Structure formats: C-alpha cells, structure tokens
Structure 1
Amino acid sequence: MFRTVCFVAFLVTVVVVTVNLGTPCGAADYDVYLLAGQSNMDGRGRVSELPAEDQRSPMNRVIIFYRNVSGSSDGWQSLVPGFSIPPKYKGELPSPTFGPEIGFAHSMMQRHPDRQFALIKGSKGGTSLRADWKPGIASDPESQGPRYRDFIETIRKATQQLIDRGDQFQFRALLWHQGESDAKSKTEIYQQQLTHLIQRIREDVGVADLPVVVGEVFDNGQRDNVRAATQAVAADHPGVALVSSEGTTTSDPGTHFDAPSQLLLGKRYAEAMNVLLANQP
C-alpha cells in the first residue's frame, strides 16, 4: 500500500494525494522508513570492519536525514556508513560507526530494484522509553519526552524538505531498536509503553496501520523483561514484527552489536519488513 502525503500545520493535518499534479521534472518518489531508538539503532558497528567495498560506498537509491542531539546530517544526504554519533565523538559526519540502516538498505534495494528509499533516523544512546521517548499526548508537547519531541520534529523537517524539492513520498514503516535503558522495567510496563509509542507514531504521521518492526536487545541474561515485552508486542499486534538478536555478537561485554551483527540485524529488519508489506491489504 503506497501513501503519498504531505505535512500541514506540524503533523496535524495529513492530505492524501491520489494524483500527482505539477511535480517538477526530475522529482523523485521515495519510500520513507522511520528509524528510532537508542545506541544500537544509532549504531556502534565499526565502518572499518565492513567486509565489502560496496558497503562503504554511497547508495545511489537511498538517502538519509539523520538527527541526533549531538549533530545531524545537515539535510538529506546519500546514505553511506557513518550516520551515527558514538560517545565522546566530536568529529564530522560520516563518523567511524554505523547502525542497522546499512544492511537494511542493501537488502531493500536488492528486493525492490525499482524503488528509491528515504531513511529518517533519530537515535540517541542511553535513552529510555519511560522518559526520553515517552510519547505523551498528541496535543500536549509538555507530556512528551525530549527524544520523542525531537523525533517528530525530525520527521517534520525531513518531509518538508522533500516537499520543497517537489519529491513525492510514502511512509512505509517504523524500525525501532531500544530497551537497554529500560532493562529494569517490568514486562507489562514496557509492553504498555512500547504499544503506546507505536500508537502515537502512527497518529503523528497520519498512517493508522503503519507497519512496525521492533528489534530485540542483546541477550546478556539481564534484559529478560524487556525482551519478553518486545516479543509480546510483536505477537499481539497486527502490523508489528520482531527482529531476533539470536546469533549476534557484541563489541563490548554484551551491549553494542559489532559490525557483522549490525549488518545481520539490518538484513533481518528488511526480511521482516517485506513480510509485513506483503500482508498489507
């Protein structure tokens, strides 16, 4: 299902366009994917450990709009590894690290050779769903966590630039990877919070059945509640799928996925996404 939409009055009014009138010559048509979460969505995989040259090269059919508290892509850019800001990094983008977007984009390009992709990525390490990403109430920004407000603002800025360029776009899905900072939450509490987040993102982008893929945090034996909650949300809600972290490895003691695992997770996100999209009416 394709939806071409534009934002009016800060993500409140959504206009569904069925006929493309007056689109400038050379304008593009993008499938938009939203990427949000904490450090493993931001990415701590080392670019220097990518096994293939083409994985380090710009992707000619994928652009990214990245925004982090510590820096941003400064508008839309061709996707390359490095739209990630690791701790204490003070340099420019692209940085030496990457997230699941690289494996995801390569897999999606292979599966859909006729499509162009736009990734809107908002991520920050060490952030919680209970506070930082709290979605709150749509009409009350003060009830929302700072990272949620930032992400909605990032979506607004990114899509407005597409509109200004004359491009067409369709919201296709949300990719969410987070949970380490909520590891002490009770299963039912995190489950409720994640369900609320999904509902609110769908509301704010105006797509009631927006597909969502949630990723598991690494199983270090101390995050059973969050892992169980994530699995339950995927199992209990139509249009939500789970990406397993089984078989992954980390570059530190049990938290941050290394480069091979980031690529693997990105591929799994794409596989789960294609199943969800195929099942849409």
Structure 2
Amino acid sequence: MRDSFVRRWAVSAALMVAASCLASHAAAEDTPTCPADGKLKVFVLAGQSNMVGFGQVFGEPGTMEWYVRKYPDKYGHLVDESGKPRVRNDVWVVNISYPDKPKMGWLTVGFGASEEHIGPEYGFGWAVGDYFEDPVLIIKCAWGGRSLYHNFRPPSSADYPTPQKDGDMGFQYYETIRQYREITGNLKKYFPDYDGRGFELVGFGWHQGWNDRINAQAVDAYESNLVHLINDLRRDLGVADLPFVIANTGMGGWDIPPTASYKQRVEKLMEVQLAVADPEKHPEFAGTVAGVETRDFQRSTDESPSRQEYHWNRNWETYYLIGRAMGQAMIGLLEK
C-alpha cells in the first residue's frame, strides 16, 4: 500500500470511523442476516476483464481514495482508524485463473487486476459477508478478453471437442469447473483457516459481455448461450437450482449517442442479459436467477481516473456498486 494512502486520510480518519459506526448501525437494522450453521459458504464469480476488475484505489478523481475522502458518510466504513482499507476476517478470496499469478487472502482491496485495483468481488464480499454469520469463500474465475460465444461456450450449446488449451472453444467454461473442484477439493491448501466442518456452494455471479457485444452474431446468440450456461453450470457444479446473478454489460450507461453505429447492438446485449432473469420471459428461472442493471453505475470520464469505457473508466465506485448490487441480488434470492 502506498504511504500516502494513509497520510492523506489521517486527518479525516475520526470522521470516517464515526460515519462507519452510524452506517453499520443502520445496516444492522435494515439488512437481514443468515444464522450460522457451521458450513463455509462458497460463491463463484466469473467473467472477463470487468470481473477481473479495474476499479482504481489510488489517485484522483474516481478512485477509492477520492471517494472515501469526498463521501465519508457513504464509504468511511471501508477504512480503519488510520485510513487504511479494512481487511475482513470473515470473507476469503481465491483466484487461480492465471496459474503463474495465484492470489488468495482475506477480503480487502487488491483482488482486481493488481494490488491497486478492485473488481466486483469487493462490494460483493462486503454484502454477503455482512449477511452470513458463517465464513465466506469467494472463488474468482476471470480472464480478460473472453466471450461467452467462444471462450465460455457451455457444452450443451454447441458440439465441440473437449478444450485442451486457452483459446479453444469452451476453455474458460471447463476451467471454471476445474478450478472450483480444485479449490473445494483442497480447501485447507487454499483456505488455511478452514475448520473442516464442510462447505456449501451458495451462488454464482456473472459479469461479462464486452467481447460478445462487439460481434453481432455473438449478440444474437447471447440469450440462448446464457440459458445454456446456467443450466450446464448447475449440472456440472452439482446444485440443481444454484442461485445465479447476472450483472449486465452496461458500459456507456444510458446515454449512448443515437448516432453511434454500435448502439443497437450493445443495448440489445444489455437487454437480453436481463431478460434471462425476467420470470415472464424465462419462468424456468423464476426465483433462482436475478439481474442487475449496471447502467446506473456508469460514471463520466470527468469523475473517473481513465477514459477506458470498456473498463468502466476504471472508476472505483462503479466496480464497488456493481459488486454490492450483485451481492444484494444474491441475498434477495437466498431470502426467497
């Protein structure tokens, strides 16, 4: 962590902590909790680079540092008395998507693209960590530049040989299953504090789509492929009605220019992603699949550290809110 991260916030630390206490008190009154049953609660979060996560922690504007300083009443609870990002000791994260860069530890910043980034796991982990009295394990399976149409292609949607290497059709689908089995089959290795009392796969989160939305054929096939993905994952992960949350690919927000050549294509993708969670359009998923509209979380380049639209302009709040909304949607499914 950068020393300036602490120094620049030290003066306002007391205010942040006070705001945190008030926010925590309000949350305790309004947020349901799930009593402990002794089992480790496991979630899988999968997708491409926006699940990897590019929400910047340092600098300004639009970083965690900037948002905590500007809105201590909203985000002060995420840092401790000295101004450092809090580390939760009840939510553990494991990411072995890239074998040469394994990452695991208690939830804090730094589980995104680098130690200076977050992905949706951050807000998601805070939401489900507050909900469960049992410890939580988040397994991240995320790779940049991968499509559902090819890389995550579910096996029931196309006839293709078992993938052998990255780049083969379906490789990321098979890797997600393999990594889940590897981690849960060796929990003491990947989660040293695991107490051996068993685990439960509770839900699956999906935030992916940029590499599909740039391809009209992939957009046309997306809804069908996503339905196959949910069904195949439930079969291969062994949970028939596994709760599934879809955060749509809302980059660009609600104000994509009418003259943009890609407008119709990308907005169609956003809508079909949410359609899969619509019980009127897909009654087979009623009560077990939820959608998150992410266009509300788009932030302008003026209030963001980057102009990378495909990475949500690297805005920290955007990634935090996407993750939190996914966590809240997951809790909503579990409460039904």
With the shorter chain as reference, the TM-score category is 0.7 to 0.9
Q: State TM-score, norm by structure 2.
A: 0.66
Q: Give runs of aligned pairs for residues 30-179 of structure 1, distance below 5 A.
A: 30-48=40-58, 49-50=63-64, 51=68, 52-54=78-80, 56-69=85-98, 71-73=100-102, 76-85=104-113, 95-112=115-132, 114-137=133-156, 141-142=162-163, 145-162=170-187, 166-179=196-209
Structure 1, 152-161 or 94-103: larger mean CA deviation = 94-103
- Report the Cα offset of residue 252 of structure 1: 2.5
The number of residues matched between the two structures is 242
Pick closer, same or farther for the CA change 1:224–1:71 going to 2, 3 Å. farther
**3-state DSSP class of the match of 2:206?**
strand
Q: Deviations over 1:214-261 (max 9, x none)?
A: 001124233112112101111122211011113223543432131011
**3-state DSSP class of the match of 1:103?**
helix
Q: Which residue of 1 aligns with 2:276?
A: 233
- Report the Cα offset of residue 63 of structure 1: 0.7
Asked whether the 8 Å contact 1:134–1:197 carries over to 2, the reply is yes
Asked whether the 8 Å contact 1:67–1:123 carries over to 2, the reply is no
Q: Which runs of 5+ in 1 are unaligned?
A: 1-27, 86-93
Q: Which residue of 2 aligns with 1:273?
A: 330
Q: Mark the structure with the bigger radius of gyration.
A: 2
**3-state DSSP class of the match of 2:183?**
helix
Higher helix share: 2
User: How far apart, in 2, do the equivalents of 1:185 and 1:194 lie?
Assistant: 16
Identity over aligned pairs, percent = 29
Asked whether the 8 Å contact 1:185–1:226 carries over to 2, the reply is no
Pick closer, same or farther for the CA change 1:72–1:58 going to 2, 3 Å. farther
User: How far apart, in 2, do the equivalents of 1:150 and 1:199 lie?
Assistant: 17
**3-state DSSP class of the match of 1:247?**
helix
- Report the Cα offset of residue 263 of structure 1: 1.0
RMSD over aligned Cα atoms: 2.4
Asked whether the 8 Å contact 1:42–1:124 carries over to 2, the reply is yes
Pick closer, same or farther for the CA change 1:213–1:58 going to 2, 3 Å. same
Higher strand share: 1
Amino acid at match of 2:203: A
Asked whether the 8 Å contact 1:60–1:78 carries over to 2, the reply is yes
User: How far apart, in 2, do the equivalents of 1:224 and 1:100 lie?
Assistant: 22
Q: Deviations over 1:138-164 (max 9, x none)?
A: 996348511112211110111012277
Amino acid at match of 1:269: M
Structure 1, 241-250 or 207-216: larger mean CA deviation = 241-250
- Among 238, 242, 246, the alignment partner of 2:291 is 242
Asked whether the 8 Å contact 2:202–2:242 carries over to 1, the reply is yes
User: How far apart, in 1, do the equivalents of 2:188 and 2:199 lie?
Assistant: 9
Q: Give runs of aligned pairs for residues 213-232 of structure 1, distance below 5 A.
A: 213-220=245-252, 221=256, 222=263, 223-232=266-275
Asked whether the 8 Å contact 1:218–1:254 carries over to 2, the reply is no
**3-state DSSP class of the match of 2:294?**
coil
User: How far apart, in 1, do the equivalents of 2:54 and 2:211 lie?
Assistant: 16
**3-state DSSP class of the match of 1:41?**
helix
Asked whether the 8 Å contact 2:160–2:169 carries over to 1, the reply is no
Q: Deviations over 1:86-132 (max 9, x none)?
A: xxxxxxxx6221101111111222233x2210001010111100111
**3-state DSSP class of the match of 2:186?**
helix
